[in-house]
Amino acid sequence: MSAGVSESPSAPGREAEEAPSTWVELGLTDHEYERIVELLGRDPNGVELAMFSLLWSEHCAYKHSRKLLGRLPTEGERVVMGPGENAGAVDIGNGHAVAFKVESHNHPSAVEPFQGAATGVGGILRDVFAIGARPIAVLDSLRFGEPTSERSRYLFEGAVAGIGHYGNSIGVPTVGGEVYFEPSYEHNCLVNAMCVGLAKTDAMIRSAAAGPGNLLVIMGASTGRDGIGGASVLASAELEAGDDSKRPSVQIGDPFEESKVLECCLELLDRDLLVSLQDLGAAGLTSSAGEMASKGGVGLDIDVRKVPLREEDMEPFEVMVSESQERMLAVVEPSRLDEVVETCERWQTGSAAIGEITDTGHLRVLDDGVEVGDVPVSALVDECPLYDLEPEEPGGWMYGNADTLGEQVALSAGRSADPSDPSHILCALLGAPNIASKRWAFEQYDSVVGSRTARRPESADAAVLMIPESDRAIAVAIDGNGRRVACDPYAGAIEAVLECAQNLACVGAEPLGLTNCLNFGNPEKPNVAWQLDRAVLGLADACLALKVPVVGGNVSLYNETEHGPIYPTPVVGLVGELPDAAAVPGLAPNDGDRLVLVGPFAPSLAGSELAKQRGELDSGLPQVPLNEVDAALRLVRELVRSGAVSAAHDVSDGGLACALAEMAIASGIGMDVDLDALVELRGGSGETNLFGEGPGGIVLAAPDPKELLERAESAGVEAVQLGSAGGDRISIAAAERDVSVALADAGRAWRSLDQRI
């Protein structure tokens, strides 16, 4: 788990006349405190209470989400590691596995975007190399308020720079990602980072501690008071509340230290010197040691005086909960300790034996040999009360609406432009922050280090990485349009999975495994509970239909402020495999190519970017024909792999018109398209067919559409001929709502985001 001190619930309110109890200030309820007393058979002391308060937080215990997460399918024949380990992993043949996980760092990023985002990347990298995989790619999923807000621009700029700083410095390429700007994230931005790693399957390592008498070794950076978060209440109590006790709770990242620890850990694993390995993230030593002991069914004695410190006079509880970055915890056989220490010294990184595995089943905290805390591991890790949600469907659209289309049209098509003219609407949508090119952001990321990146950002729908070790390639995508989930949490969550699956199909990749990060508001509020409940159900149904196992993930709740909750935002990361990176088409059709729309895509303006711009958002999305979409994706995958298509792009934000325009911009070649056949097939207005959104639509380009159409017919997948690539204008006829835009104007609008940052 990555750090995220403030991802835990804020302390519940208390009667004004009564001084709040220490445990309430630490975020525990009276009921939870009573449970702790019952489990221990006595009152916990300060050290113990600090440990419980963090491990029983939502962020560590998943107490409002664990019951729901049980619905997600986790089994699959390619699964090597599933949920519960530091990261999930799937087999990709030839003795290799791909490990991956996505995680949030939302609240730290809202406080200090650069370090919040940087340490988010650092945390997810550690999760991946903790199982013995070398990180080979990072993707990120970002959500901010509208860029018209100065604060949103500041957060966006800081988060992008922070992600770049960490990833670039450590030499792991950032190969993809996505950004949405919506008012609901104005006061609570989202920064989710996903890491993908490559491991030899037989060299992977789990985190379960084992072998009483074995040593617990902390490696990497020293431990300071940074990121003590909720436990600073205890610091105030014990240190007699001074300003210096209110330490900043956002951690500071040091990618150079992480780079050394990473290389050191991979060498230690390669030489088979470790019994188990775990990173230190949220709740620091307490969480890592507790989880290792719990999984191994053993006890642990930790002497905090042996932990290398960067500050003097740290209290034992501070050492136990510090969230200092770039630290790892390993179990080592005593006879191997010298070799481990020597290796760490050679990599110029720290190491110290701080404790021992026991058979007591207790986590004992010692201070220079004197016991200062003693709790049963099971009480700490497994006995946190789990809560049932009390879902209640909201009566209608919970979020605001604002008509910004006129403004957007004026920005993209000039002051005299007409917001009802479809040509001007197309330019406005291409220039809308959610749809416009994110080149400004991704050029700040090293996307090429590692020599695997066969498709860089915006050159195809999914990033493609070569894996010569197993003689194939993998494709990775991350997505999750919160606005559509807000309209309909069930259908919207299905769409998030399908969007990723469509991106993978466009590069010919078959999904192997999924990771997700559930970013929601306060689950104790019935309407948010309903969003969470419905969205998890949607994720589960989509994964079952596509036969994709969920191998890991993360939950970030309480993303709300006095201005209300964020859009419910399940971010989905999908990893797939393909036989040959050389056969992957990009987004750009060749001159004269025919364009064909494949799949059951039924355009609707509900929840669309156009509906947002017009201030017409409302609850409800059309139902998703899951099985038909699945069939279409299989067909697209086969067509792409066979080399029959020269370009592929899925229909997403801004509908078919924007998808076609993006292909034209990528190729520098215009197109002549007639949507009347689609209008006839699907019904709806010309405008709905131009700008309506929905899952299950992929535009393919090929010199001769005959093979495409025949294979679609025999697969029972709908295919509609749209037109052909050529000329220097984007011309789309759609039931009298005709679009005609010069390619140069469309390109200018699409590339306009950097002028707004």
Partner 1 sequence: MIGVIQFPGSCDERDAVAAVERVGEGRLVWHEETDLSGLDGVVVPGGFSYGDYLRAGAIARFSPAMEAVARFAAEGGPVLGICNGFQVLCEAGLLPGALLPNEGLRFICRQVQLVAEDFTGPFGGSIESGQRLSIPVKHMSGRYFAPDEDLDQLESEGRIAFRYAPGENPNGSVRDIAGVINEAGNVIGLMPHPEHAVDPLTGSDDGLVLFRALAGAQQAATA
Site for partner 1, rule CB under 8 A: 161, 164-165, 168-171, 254-257, 259-260, 263, 347-348, 442-454, 456, 466, 581-582
CA 449/CA 213 separation, integer angstroms: 42
Closer residue to partner 1 in complex, CB, 294/453: 453
- Which DSSP category does 525 fall into? S
Closer residue to partner 1 in complex, CB, 372/581: 581
Q: How far is the CB of 259 from partner 1 (least distance, A)?
A: 6
Three-state DSSP string of 100-120 = EEEEECHHHHHHCHHHHHHHH
Q: How far is the CB of 141 from partner 1 (least distance, A)?
A: 19
Closer residue to partner 1 in complex, CB, 154/256: 256
CA 196/CA 138 separation, integer angstroms: 6
Beta bridge partners of 511: 576
Would you state the structure tokens that stand for residue 409, as one six-digit string?
């049209």
Would you state the structure tokens that stand for residue 412, as one six-digit string?
């993209």
To the query of whether residue 105 is one of the catalytic residues in this protein, the response is yes
Catalytic pick among 64, 96, 105, 362: 105
CA 68/CA 71 separation, integer angstroms: 6
Q: How far is the CB of 442 from partner 1 (least distance, A)?
A: 8
Closer residue to partner 1 in complex, CB, 461/499: 461
CB contact at 8 A, 725 and 595:
yes
CB contact at 8 A, 212 and 358:
yes
Catalytic pick among 59, 64, 96, 107: 59
Q: How far is the CB of 577 from partner 1 (least distance, A)?
A: 16
To the query of whether residue 424 is one of the catalytic residues in this protein, the response is no
Three-state DSSP string of 571-622 = EEEEEEEECCHHHCCECCCCCCCEEEEECCCCCECCCCHHHHHCCCCCCCCC
Closer residue to partner 1 in complex, CB, 151/439: 439
Q: How far is the CB of 346 from partner 1 (least distance, A)?
A: 9
3-state class of 359 per DSSP? coil
Q: Do strands 671-674 and 729-733 pair parallel, antiparallel, or not at all (unpaired)?
A: parallel
Q: How far is the CB of 445 from partner 1 (least distance, A)?
A: 6
CB contact at 8 A, 136 and 198:
yes
Closer residue to partner 1 in complex, CB, 196/730: 196
DSSP-H helix ranges across 605-716: 609-613, 626-641, 655-667, 676-682, 686-691, 706-715
Listed residue (669, 664, 662) closest to 727, CA to CA: 669
Buried b (16+ CB within 10 A) or exposed e, 242-277: eeebebebbbebbbebbbbbbbbbbebbeeebbbbb
**Per 3-state DSSP, what percentage of the chain is helix, strand, and coil (rounded to 5)?**
40, 25, 35
Closer residue to partner 1 in complex, CB, 264/285: 264
Would you state the structure tokens that stand for residue 468, as one six-digit string?
């010569």
3-state class of 517 per DSSP? strand
Half-sphere exposure of 12 (CA within 13 A, CB side): 12
Q: How far is the CB of 198 from partner 1 (least distance, A)?
A: 13
Closer residue to partner 1 in complex, CB, 452/484: 452
Q: How far is the CB of 132 from partner 1 (least distance, A)?
A: 18
Q: How far is the CB of 156 from partner 1 (least distance, A)?
A: 13
CB contact at 8 A, 211 and 293:
no
Buried b (16+ CB within 10 A) or exposed e, 690-701: bbbbbbbbbbbb
Closer residue to partner 1 in complex, CB, 264/375: 264
Please, which residues have CB within 8 angstroms of residue 710's CB and are 6 or more apart in sequence? none
User: What backbone phi and psi angles, to 5 degrees, belong to 519?
Assistant: -100, 110
DSSP code per residue over 407-437: HHHHHHH-TT--TT-HHHHHHHHHHSTTTS-
Q: How far is the CB of 164 from partner 1 (least distance, A)?
A: 5
- Residue recorded with tokens 């559930």: 518
Angle at 420 between CA 747 and CA 436, to 5 degrees: 25
Closer residue to partner 1 in complex, CB, 713/754: 754
Closer residue to partner 1 in complex, CB, 260/641: 260
CA 301/CA 363 separation, integer angstroms: 6
CA 105/CA 408 separation, integer angstroms: 31
Q: How far is the CB of 166 from partner 1 (least distance, A)?
A: 11
Q: Which residues are catalytically annotated?
A: 59, 105
